Structure 1
């Protein structure tokens, strides 16, 4: 009979957490991506910000620039060790994201600048044809616990890291 025992030298193994959902490549689908990601982060007791903003930008890009009629985009969240990885997969591998600096009067075009500023790392990779994956990673604090603000856990943005 096999038994697992943990001696004092055993290291604590953190579980890999993941969440994945298919969404329509529309403004409504992009909004739903942010709402679902926010609820998943709450259930994992992780801080909402800046991950919610990164999800919003990547999902909006998938719905705007990665849209192919009849094909959905996928939002995937992973927590592995001390890293939260956000992935958005769409069906336009021919349209890779590029950082651009729009004119001051431009009303759009700053989404990847925000992702670049908020994420610890980000990039894109080819998925199974015809897909591409745009990803961003956030390092989680070494030891974190979720705490709530004075309002309640249901207040938007109420979870914050504490040491």
Structure 2
């Protein structure tokens, strides 16, 4: 399921929305609420709850693993790419630090990318065009033709 190849070729994406969040725990629930509010007018056929859950996981990771000597933010953007929805989460961390872990059953953390991998049709991580790291996921057929 997971696509870490970085192959995002194809037509230019149509931007649908974006948010800039402070790297604070309360930003996770804010990201879910804002995404639900701002995606609603586009009436996607995919599960908005699943997308909000994946955004929660990626924003949490961005807050936990983002690093900068300067004040910084987490940037979330979402796009329509043909019939698919692509969501990107940017932070000032190092792309090489993004790793899917295999936590033990009693581990309290470490399941975020596993969850994204199991729900999304594909996902990617690498250097962000904004500097730092981007982790993105794609939900295919969010707008069936």
TM-score (norm 2): 0.80
1:128, distance to aligned residue in structure 2 (A)? 4.3
- Runs (5+) with no aligned partner, structure 2: 1-12
Say if 1:126 and 1:133, in contact at 8 Å, map to a contact too: yes
1:73, 1:142 → 2: CA distance?
Answer: 27
Structure of greater Rg? 1
2:139, 2:110 → 1: CA distance?
Answer: 22
Which residues in structure 2 correspond to 1:57-96 (within 5 Å)?
Answer: 57-68=57-68, 70-93=71-94, 96=97
Residue of structure 2 equivalent to 1:156: none
2:40 to 39, 42, 46: 42
Q: Which moved more, 1:99-108 or 1:120-129?
A: 120-129
In structure 2, relative to structure 1, the CA distance for the partners of 1:116 and 1:94 (3 Å cut) is closer
In structure 2, relative to structure 1, the CA distance for the partners of 1:139 and 1:94 (3 Å cut) is closer
- Runs (5+) with no aligned partner, structure 1: 1-14, 145-163
Deviations 1:11-47 (A, max 9, x none): xxxx924211111011111221111111122121124
Say if 2:95 and 2:126, in contact at 8 Å, map to a contact too: no
1:94, distance to aligned residue in structure 2 (A)? 5.3
1:21 to 19, 22, 25: 19
1:49, distance to aligned residue in structure 2 (A)? 3.0
Say if 1:66 and 1:95, in contact at 8 Å, map to a contact too: no
1:104, distance to aligned residue in structure 2 (A)? 1.0
Instruction: Provide the alpha-carbon RMSD of the alignment.
Output: 2.1
When you count helix as a share of all residues, which structure comes out higher?
A: 2
Say if 1:19 and 1:76, in contact at 8 Å, map to a contact too: yes
Residue of structure 2 equivalent to 1:103: 104
Higher relative contact order (CA 8 A, sep 6+): 2
2:49, 2:137 → 1: CA distance?
Answer: 13
